[in-house]
Amino acid sequence: MCGIIGAAGSDGGPDAIDVLFEGLSALEYRGYDSAGVALANSPLEVYKARGELEALRSTVPAAELRGRTTGIGHTRWSTHGPPSDANAHPHTDTDRRVAVVHNGIIENYQSLRDELIGAGVEFASDTDTEVVPHLIASQLDAGAEPEPAFRRAVDRIEGSYAIAAVFEGETGIYGVRNESPLVLGVGEETRYLASDVPAFIAQTDRVVYLEDGEFVHLTGDGVRVTDSSGRPVETSVETVDWDAEDTGKSGYDHYMLKEIHEQPTALRQCLRGRVDELRGEVTLEECSLEDAGRIQFVACGTSYHAALYGAALCRRNGVGATAYIASEYTTDRIPVDEETLVVGVTQSGETADTLRALREAGQAGARTLVVTNTVGSSATRACDETMYIRAGPEVGVAATKTFASQQLALTLLAGELSDSVSYADIKSLRAVPDQIQSVLDTSRARAVAEELVGSDAFFFIGRDLAYPVALEGALKCKEITYEHAEGFAAGELKHGPLALVTADTPVVAVVTGDGSTARKTLSNIKEVEARDAPVVVVTDGQSEAGRYADYVLEVPATDELNVAVVANVQLQLFAYWLANLMGRSIDKPRNLAKSVTVE
């Protein structure tokens, strides 16, 4: 979602305008529709523009801003008010004494706005954010210095927020977070403030993760972190274990394609140190799962599909488990007690709906575990236990390697919860990365996409463990092609959706193994074939699915518990090549954001 970058440098340090643009460029993956920067000192210089970074860059007189070493920047994903120059951040008070950037939602902004308008303030935007600089200005008018003015303004607002502000005549940055990520970067000459580590990883790998309610003041000389009462907070500097090259394209045309091809490595990282083939054991030392009773998964989007997969695996192993869409989860209607384990699945660890569900479950007495990719994220601090999927940085908005890593991590989790993992299971798990590599090396997804591009809609079907994968395949398709795509449990087609099937609506079926599930799915394939729909099957060749298909995407034969992980890769490649042929913005699909930090 929205991205923040701030840089506070010492005299003679790098020009802030260059650092800000580099940071904003690194944050483009989060999704945005406008951008802006503010340079500190006298006078404050503020530039902002609707559209991509190049639109902003064309408005900034960079040569005139050389020598300024402190500033803030922002990429906006619209919530309050449409994309426009006026609604882009940073926002200022009427006299341009303070400039503010903000991620999150200010829930009481309307009452604050009404109050300020009643006091004679004129607003220049439709945003909730603009109340913040005006609140700060009212404190400055009352005689407060910048820091107490900033604190008093923050005391007035309710909701989720990460805020950074610069003041006229000062060469520092003030920041605060509450339920929205904000991280510090500690460099030699410059200190950084950002919504995510990639914004400054090219400058430093030394980071400090802020906690909710903590304030920070950055200058070229150092960083001071305090609590809501102004008392100093002791912080620890951590070193992140990846560098700027990890977030490059490495010769691929798109981040998404690169990350699809990184899946074998990501899955090996997920398994490393967690499976013992000789002893037939899964060991998740980072989390304690003893005495887990009822299991409830909460997640959104792609992570929800992984949660469905994990819940199905748990039930197969005799462990009662249910997956819930996090925005629909509430302990008012869903039974929770001290024997309940609530598992949040979130790539970023910052997904607002999932965080709310986890916090609510914890307050109701449940134990909470987060399965995430992001060290130091809000979810890791909100939960009792953490399991990292270890996928490495993912830049493309449409999740690929993180979904596969979630699938494998939840396979381990389900095995640990049921204590039912065998030598054969672990041997099968270890084979998955190589099987995915085989798919990447041999896939015909591009050729199939070339045949079907221009279709009216796409339907994806599967049963059992292939059902969540069908849902994910449809989501990938709609995310990056902008075409209508739906995923269904294969048996549900005949209960309504079959009315939509025509010769111009390809049906993509995931059919693996040769048991009753595969045979029933074959019946569903014949139903759509009778309506002249083109049929694509993703299959391991164990059934007769290929006989009834117009197009076949093959996967290696493997254990039934893992084959859906491998099959998913063909669906990712199919969606990618459809979007590529259509000329879509694959890494930054319209209206979407990588980390959804609002409810």
Most trustworthy range by pLDDT among 31-35, 186-190, 305-309, 513-517: 305-309
**What is the 3 state secondary structure string of 229-264?**
CCCECCCCCEECCCCHHHHCCCCCCCHHHHHHHCHH
Phi/psi for 295 (5° steps) reads: -110, 130
Residue 358 in domain:
yes
| 244: pLDDT strictly greater than 60 | no
| Distance of alpha carbon 128 from alpha carbon 156, whole angstroms | 13
408 & 495 share domain:
no
Q: List, for residues 209-229, the tens digit of each pLDDT value.
A: 898 899 999 998 899 999 999
| 344: pLDDT strictly greater than 90 | yes
305 & 325 share domain:
yes
| Torsion sign, CA atoms 344, 347, 353, 359 | positive
| Distance of alpha carbon 225 from alpha carbon 19, whole angstroms | 23
233 & 302 share domain:
no
Domain boundary among 440, 474, 508: 440
Say what the pLDDT of residue 277 is. Answer: 67
145 & 255 share domain:
no
The closest of 284, 308, 335, 318 to 418, measured between CA atoms, is: 318
3 sits in which H/E element = strand 3-9
Mean pLDDT value of segment 439-452: 97
Say what the pLDDT of residue 597 is. Answer: 53
Mean pLDDT value of segment 367-389: 91
> Can you give the CATH number for the domain in which 552 is found?
3.40.50.10490
| 27: pLDDT strictly greater than 70 | yes
Residue 191 in domain:
yes
Residue 496 in domain:
yes
Mean pLDDT value of segment 433-448: 96
The closest of 290, 281, 282 to 384, measured between CA atoms, is: 290
> Which residue segment(s) compose the domain that 108 sits in?
3-246
188 & 297 share domain:
no
Edge-to-edge, what's the strand order for the sheet holding 341-346? 321-325, 295-299, 341-346, 367-372, 385-388
201 & 296 share domain:
no
| Distance of alpha carbon 33 from alpha carbon 78, whole angstroms | 7
Spatial contact of 448 and 535, defined as CB atoms under 8 Å apart: no
473 & 436 share domain:
no
CA distances from 487 to 211, 373, 508 (A): 39, 26, 9
Higher pLDDT, 558 or 582: 582
Spatial contact of 569 and 440, defined as CB atoms under 8 Å apart: yes
| 288: pLDDT strictly greater than 80 | no
544 sits in which H/E element = none
Say what the pLDDT of residue 593 is. Answer: 64
Say what the pLDDT of residue 242 is. Answer: 64
Say what the pLDDT of residue 423 is. Answer: 67
Residue 596 in domain:
no
Say what the pLDDT of residue 125 is. Answer: 93
566 & 576 share domain:
yes
119 & 172 share domain:
yes
Residue 55 in domain:
yes
- Those residues whose C-beta lies under 8 Å from the C-beta of residue 530, and which sit 6 or more positions away, are none
The one-letter amino acid code at 440 reads L
Confidence of residue 599 (pLDDT cuts 50, 70, 90): low
Say what the pLDDT of residue 594 is. Answer: 61
| 493: pLDDT strictly greater than 70 | yes
- Those residues whose C-beta lies under 8 Å from the C-beta of residue 282, and which sit 6 or more positions away, are 274, 275, 276, 412, 415, 416, 421, 426
Mean pLDDT value of segment 262-267: 95
Confidence of residue 284 (pLDDT cuts 50, 70, 90): confident
Total domains, the chain: 3
Query: Greatest CA span in the chain, whole angstroms?
Result: 80
Confidence of residue 315 (pLDDT cuts 50, 70, 90): very high
| 243: pLDDT strictly greater than 70 | no
Domain boundary among 440, 473, 495: 440
| 418: pLDDT strictly greater than 90 | no
Domain boundary among 440, 463, 486: 440
Q: Is 550 exposed, middle or buried (0-12, 13-18, 19+ CB in 10 A)?
A: middle
Residue 558 in domain:
yes
Residue 45 in domain:
yes
Confidence of residue 405 (pLDDT cuts 50, 70, 90): very high
Number of neighbouring beta carbons within 10 Å of residue 457: 18
Confidence of residue 364 (pLDDT cuts 50, 70, 90): very high
Say what the pLDDT of residue 193 is. Answer: 96
Mean pLDDT value of segment 41-51: 91
78 & 185 share domain:
yes
Provide the mean pLDDT of the chain.
91
The one-letter amino acid code at 430 reads R
The position carrying tokens 């083939």 is 277
**For helices 401-418 and 301-316, angle between their N-to-C axes, nearest 10 degrees:** 30
Residue 14 in domain:
yes
Q: List, for residues 121-137, the tens digit of each pLDDT value.
A: 999 999 999 999 999 99
> Can you give the CATH number for the domain in which 240 is found?
3.60.20.10
- Those residues whose C-beta lies under 8 Å from the C-beta of residue 332, and which sit 6 or more positions away, are none
Say what the pLDDT of residue 82 is. Answer: 82
432 & 463 share domain:
no
Most trustworthy range by pLDDT among 231-240, 471-480, 536-545, 586-595: 471-480
Mean pLDDT value of segment 72-91: 87
Residues with catalytic function: 2, 594
157 & 190 share domain:
yes
